[in-house]
Structure 1
Amino acid sequence: MDEAEFWTLLERSAEETTDPDYRLTWLTHHLSRLSLAHIADFQLNLEAARRPIDTYAMWGAANQILDGLCSSDTFWYFQPWLIGQGQRLWHHVTQNPDNLADLPAVRVLAGRSHDEWADAEWPQWEELAYVAADAYGRATGQSDGLHEALDARGHRAYADPEPNDQPWDSDSLTEIAQRLPRLARLFPRRQYVTP
């Protein structure tokens, strides 16, 4: 499975439904019918799609949307959600994290309290990271089969953000206004003061 096939499969799941759980079911079913090599390729493509968005710049943008409450775990779950928006939108946001302001799934959250967001609206999709492992397990009956297959390929998996750009203070209103002007307007927040 090459990169184009990865995006096609992911986007086909979105054409079936916008419900994240049903998309996972659909993806698991369709992946489990492919060769084991293709299932492993799906995981590799997913991880490759994480790399350009695994940055402090993107983390700051996610932090702005989430009102300063974006931990490392939350950012890790945000990344597959962003990938799940499809290749065109993912690519648009890789150009500039402030372009998240253009995503319909982000705009629908603006002006609403987190308490009002439906579960399916939250900008996180942790489970996408496990869909290839589930499909591999379904196809082979081995719960750790995908991990072993990727190890055999010499793949180093990572399970936490590893940004490679320059960190910045994503709680500073001045920094936010300079780096993320459109997201700052969509998701204004107060200055948090640490003792």
Structure 2
Amino acid sequence: MMFQNKNDQELVELYIAGKEAALSELIRRHKTKIYTSIYMLVKDEFLAEDIFQDTFIKVINTLKSGRYNEEGKFLPWVLRIAHNLVIDFFRKEKRTPVITNGDGFDIFDVLGFYDESIEDKIVREQTHKDLKALIQLLPSEQKEVLIMRHYGEMSFKEIADVTNVSINTALGRMRYALNNLRKMLQTKELSLRLT
């Protein structure tokens, strides 16, 4: 049976009715977005894979127990589960997400900088390092929205659903995050000029 032409809700219903392949199609369809949103928060491939698997174990258990009632909102619901598992992990570890320039995917690496001199490259890399350090200084709600929006490429609607707030709150947190980054950058430039 072909599932590609079915919407998420139809696939959920087919899976609940016993068609295991419907879940495979849902995972195939949304894997990248779900995994990326987890990875951008934990910054560790293996941990992201573990949380991704835990997310789908929870999804399967909820679907099989008949407790799923997010009609038409499968992806935001799964992202919310993943997000909560990430928060649980950090609570257990007593630490906050860190944006590092490790071996993993880094949005700054794919922005495309061409024909730049060595000096430009050094300045750019230092700027990205500074920006990532400044992002870590943001309050956790602002940092979370910024990471999901720019690194996870999630819409504000998806962010609102995942973080369990209104779209206006998500937009507000993003606005505050950008304003705070701007102020921190200005303060940093000012202190560099004074030294």
TM-score by length of 2: 0.30
Higher RCO (C-alpha under 8 Å, 6+ residues apart):
1
Higher helix share: 2
TM-score by length of 1: 0.30
The higher radius of gyration belongs to 2
